Amino acid sequence: MSSTWHKLTLGNDDQAFEPTLRIQQMFMSKFLMCPPGSGRALFSCYDKENDNLWLYFSPAAQDIAMRVYAEPCDPPTALDCIGLLAGEGDALGIEAPELAKAA
């Protein structure tokens, strides 16, 4: 399995609403077929300063990330803006232990 995280920028709230819903639906259709502990997770981070929503895909969700043209990135580190949208919340602990320790 890949260890690469991916992120996708979706713009401000108005621009991001519909794409976020579609991506969550795509994600859930795959997630529901996975066994527990798969590490599949979709996180969000809202950058207030730049009025932009970022979606982060755990390495186990690379198939969805590639479908929506998300870019490879480092694991998310901004604890105050990360929110679980779908999947397994412990994916941060599995894939990015420094976040789990700080949480």
Range of the structural domain that residue 10 is part of: 5-102
Asked if 91 contacts 27 with a C-beta cutoff of 8 angstroms, the reply is no
**Which amino acid would we find at residue 79?**
L
Overall domain count for the chain:
1
Average pLDDT along the chain:
79
Q: Is the dihedral of CA 11, 13, 18, 21 positive or negative?
A: positive
- For residue 74, the 8-state DSSP code is P
SS3 44: strand
Query: Over 60: is that where the pLDDT of 102 sits?
Result: no
Q: Which of 44, 39, 46, 31 is nearest to 4 (CA)?
A: 39
pLDDT at 101: 43
Inter-residue contact 70 to 54 (CB < 8 Å): no
pLDDT tens-digit series, residues 60-92: 899 999 999 999 998 887 555 678 878 776 666
